[in-house]
Structure 1
Amino acid sequence: MTDAAPAHGAPGFDAFPTTVRTTDYHAAGEPFRIVDTASGAMPAVPGDTVAERCATAIGPTGSATSPRRSALDDVRRLLVREPRGHAGMYGGFVVPPDDDGAHFGVLFWHKDGYSTACGHGTMALGAWAVDCGRVPAPDDGSAQVRVDVPSGRVTATVHRSGGRTTGVTFRGVPARVSARKVPVATTLGLVEADIAHAGACYAAVAVRDLGLEVSPAALPALVRAGQEIRAALATHPGTWHPGGPLLSGVYGVILYEELPDTPFGPHQRNVTVFADGQFDRSPCGSGTAARLALLAEDGRLGEGEDLLHESVIGTVFTGRVVSGGAEGVVTEVTGTAYRTGEHAFLVDPLDALGTGFAL
């Protein structure tokens, strides 16, 4: 089945920009498409803070059969739908920060809507901000890029050597555990889920309890299981965040596999299933922070130890707990981010597919 959008000249598209320019990165294999709303006459999103702008972008405006949320949402759909995007696309709209303490803000998005946190996206944004000169950085050393996201203020420390970006360390909002060993019935049997908040809410389930492994061949079964677990936990009180509905509800299901420990700490492989069956190609940045909170509570992650966190495609993030407090543990996740291209996307006014289609 296809879900086609109206053409450029259709009602409601009056504010659509002629050209949408993007800079694309990937962090450990997961794409991130960056759109700077300050350029290109992009539609504005009302709100005094990034969280308010996110709530506005989510809507709802329109009916259940016409889920268009805002003028800017037309741009999101253009960039994630075929033929210009794909179902696994991820990205962000760069918007003004909450105050002068941050360099900029961002609204994270995917094919089904918006998210309140994105670690791999923050890494990509840090690299982009330094690479394009928006944030000054030394040829050798590091620079901090402060970003306001819907769940709070996060930092990307961009590491440099010989005038090149060599890695990025993401420090998110405090991560906290909210529920343990929640029984969940799936078509593969009864499993137990642990729930943690790390800018977004994650449920973590061991794949051995599903009789699966984290591998590309198992992806169809992993995605189905992730969708079942997410749906089953929709009303669980552990998914509620004191910050309100925007931060509540299961965003992603982390299906993890234990691997032999390294000399530096635990070693796991995971796939994170989110939205309507989308899965993270990277080890998931904010999901890694959620895993760190759970491992710290279990006593499995000692001072100075790292979690080596692999993705379903074999890429790696390294995570550590920096400190703890009443709001949770402060974590850092380190990975890489590389630019993959720059694009100028257009919509021909005669193109009946408009902003594209989703299969």
Structure 2
Amino acid sequence: MKIQKAYTATDVHVAGEAFRIIKDAPLSYYPSLQQLDEQFPHVYADEIKLLLNEPRGFAGLNGCLIVPPFSREADAAVVFFTHEGTVPFQYGGAIAVITALLECGHLSQKKSNEYKLETVSGVISVRAVVEKDEVISVELVSNPCTIIQMNIPYKDTNYSLVQADQLYAIFKKSDVPFELQMEDLSEVQKWGQEVNTALDSNQSIKGVVLLDDLLLPNGRIKTVTFRKDNFIVRSPGFGTAAACYASLLFNGEFTMKQPFENESIFNSFITVQLANQSEDGYQFAFTSRGFITGMQTYVLDQEDPLAAGFLLK
């Protein structure tokens, strides 16, 4: 084997969603994080394919590139990316990054538990609680979520449009004949594909959500989120949670005086609490944690016929 490229990565999952974190990408100088973000899909195209595509990755894998901060107030700078290119921000990615930095010793623990990550969307604050060198919880606050439109007709039901980290179309589970559980996964997937196809003309919609609020009186909702490519988001969804709770609050269906949970179809969850309500919308505090699943070196053999990888969805 003749190694052409090699990258060491730390894999972390946050409530089931997987992130691959790299710190040793090719050395290049950029005067700002914005310029790095703009050039990343072109300059690092090979790295995206190598690290995220199969056979080393899979369709639901997210990437995080950590670089030294450009801002003096930040502890580290991060570029978030997927198979399609960079994304402005990922709540789960921020939790994964701060977990990896602290548990791997790349960032010193602070007594305040307060850390700052520089992203293309700005410097964001996270609170990470560490016990015995393990990050046991991470909290961060969302940007304001706004209600775009409620009760939009669709066949025999209706849906709502809510702008959180992206624009979500939210449907109620009470209008479908199946449950949000692994045993009904094939029906869940079929429903998501049909709705995505029906809403395909609205390119601004980035996620379709099926919301089960039956257990809302017990402080919990259950959701499934479909991306535009019909892939199911592997976590309960941070933006999903904000969008769903914002729509429920807007409808006056409950008051959020204590923390609530958003549960996934495979029973992972994140904790959500209302942080602020103003004319700009609803802001929520998320609490979750990351778990390191592996530290590996990924290599590219120059004779490998699948150098660009592939994706099965």
TM-score range, shorter chain: 0.7 to 0.9
Give the superposition deviation at 1:166: 0.9
Give the superposition deviation at 1:229: 3.2
TM-score, normalised to structure 2, is: 0.87
Are residues 205 and 142 of structure 1, via their aligned partners in 2, closer, same or farther at CA, if it must alter by over 3 Å? farther
Secondary structure class of the residue paired with 2:292: strand
Partner of 1:340: 293
Aligned pair partner of 2:32 in 48, 69, 76: 48
Deviation string 1:271-303 (CA, Å, 9 cap, x unpaired) is 111141221221112221222322222234535
Secondary structure class of the residue paired with 2:184: helix
Give the superposition deviation at 1:183: 2.3
Secondary structure class of the residue paired with 1:128: helix
> Which moved further from structure 2: 335-344 or 123-132?
123-132
Q: Is the 8 A contact 1:43 1:72 kept in 2?
A: no
Give the superposition deviation at 1:320: 0.9
Code of the residue aligned with 1:41 in structure 2: it is: P
Partner of 1:246: none
Are residues 299 and 53 of structure 1, via their aligned partners in 2, closer, same or farther at CA, if it must alter by over 3 Å? farther
Secondary structure class of the residue paired with 1:355: coil
Partner of 1:25: 12
Secondary structure class of the residue paired with 2:9: strand
Give the superposition deviation at 1:254: 1.6
Partner of 2:92: 120
Q: 2-side partners of 1:126 and 1:224: how far apart?
A: 36
1:133 matches 2:88: no
Q: Is the 8 A contact 1:136 1:143 kept in 2?
A: no
Structure 2: unaligned runs, 5 residues or longer: none
Aligned pair partner of 1:195 in 161, 170, 180: 161
Partner of 1:92: 64
Partner of 1:328: 281
Deviation string 1:222-274 (CA, Å, 9 cap, x unpaired) is 334334434544555xx8xxxxxxxxx222222121232355x3x11111111
Partner of 1:260: 215
Secondary structure class of the residue paired with 1:214: coil
Deviation string 1:295-318 (CA, Å, 9 cap, x unpaired) is 222234535322221111101111
Partner of 2:141: 171
Q: Is the 8 A contact 2:261 2:271 kept in 1?
A: yes
Secondary structure class of the residue paired with 1:314: coil
Q: 2-side partners of 1:99 and 1:231: how far apart?
A: 42
Code of the residue aligned with 2:92 in structure 1: it is: H
Are residues 43 and 219 of structure 1, via their aligned partners in 2, closer, same or farther at CA, if it must alter by over 3 Å? farther
Are residues 162 and 172 of structure 1, via their aligned partners in 2, closer, same or farther at CA, if it must alter by over 3 Å? same
Q: 1-side partners of 2:97 and 2:73: how far apart?
A: 17
Are residues 95 and 40 of structure 1, via their aligned partners in 2, closer, same or farther at CA, if it must alter by over 3 Å? closer
Partner of 2:251: 298
Q: 1-side partners of 2:195 and 2:5: how far apart?
A: 41
Are residues 155 and 261 of structure 1, via their aligned partners in 2, closer, same or farther at CA, if it must alter by over 3 Å? same
Aligned length, in residue pairs = 311
TM-score, normalised to structure 1, is: 0.77
Secondary structure class of the residue paired with 1:345: strand
Aligned pair partner of 2:185 in 219, 239, 245: 219
Structure 1: unaligned runs, 5 residues or longer: 1-7, 10-16, 58-68, 240-248
Partner of 1:156: 126
Partner of 1:356: 309
Taking only aligned residues, the RMSD between alpha carbons, in angstroms, comes to: 2.8
Partner of 1:316: 269
Aligned pair partner of 1:101 in 62, 68, 73: 73
Q: 2-side partners of 1:191 and 1:144: how far apart?
A: 44
Q: 1-side partners of 2:239 and 2:116: how far apart?
A: 16
1:288 matches 2:230: no
Partner of 1:12: none
Q: 2-side partners of 1:175 and 1:299: how far apart?
A: 16
Q: 2-side partners of 1:351 and 1:121: how far apart?
A: 30
Are residues 304 and 25 of structure 1, via their aligned partners in 2, closer, same or farther at CA, if it must alter by over 3 Å? same
Q: 1-side partners of 2:196 and 2:119: how far apart?
A: 23
Partner of 1:250: 205
Code of the residue aligned with 2:209 in structure 1: it is: I
Are residues 160 and 73 of structure 1, via their aligned partners in 2, closer, same or farther at CA, if it must alter by over 3 Å? same
